[in-house]
Amino acid sequence: MTISLTKETLGDYVGEEIGVSPWVQVTQEDVNVFAQITRDPQFIHIDPVRAANTPFGGTIAHGFFTLSMLSYFLQEGAGVTVEGTSMAINYGFDKLRFLAPVRVGRKIRGRIKLLSAEESKPNQFRLKYEVMAEIEGEDKPALIAEWLTMAV
């Protein structure tokens, strides 16, 4: 779900939680494909037998796998579109912390807050989101990020 706002109403949402994405199950197949694409075949991600003998008790998703889900979380949770712009592009991160591993088979979702919205040029807006990747049934999130996008 995306929230469509005008230049005048953007500020009304700053500091507010604007949405929560649906839960997504992390599968071993997803993690294996991610490992292949990123050329990161560390056993803790792709070898369930060997990973069973680690403190995690099984395979875990790559931190960057979880990070890559932020696009989905924003799209399905509550991204912001600004009237007069045609697209949003990734602008970077101000802060990113990986706080807890995501065990394969668990579900994750994004909790999204709009931290700031600034017009940097006419009809060009820099948006900063706090996105927390929650792990179903766990107190500690997988990650918290301050993510910047640019609506142009």
Q: Is the pTM of this model over 0.85?
A: yes
Residue type (1 letter), 122: P
Tell me: the pLDDT tens digits for 56-106? Answer: 999 999 999 999 999 999 888 777 778 888 888 999 999 999 999 999 999
pLDDT, averaged across the chain: 93
Query: Is 108 in contact with 121 (CB distance < 8 Å)?
Result: no
Architecture of domain 2-26+66-151: Roll (3.10)
Task: Give residue 1's pLDDT.
Answer: 67
Q: How distant, in Å, are the alpha carbons of 6, 32, 63, 88, 125 from that of 81?
A: 8, 33, 28, 8, 10
Domain ranges in the chain are 2-26+66-151
CA distance 62 to 123: 37
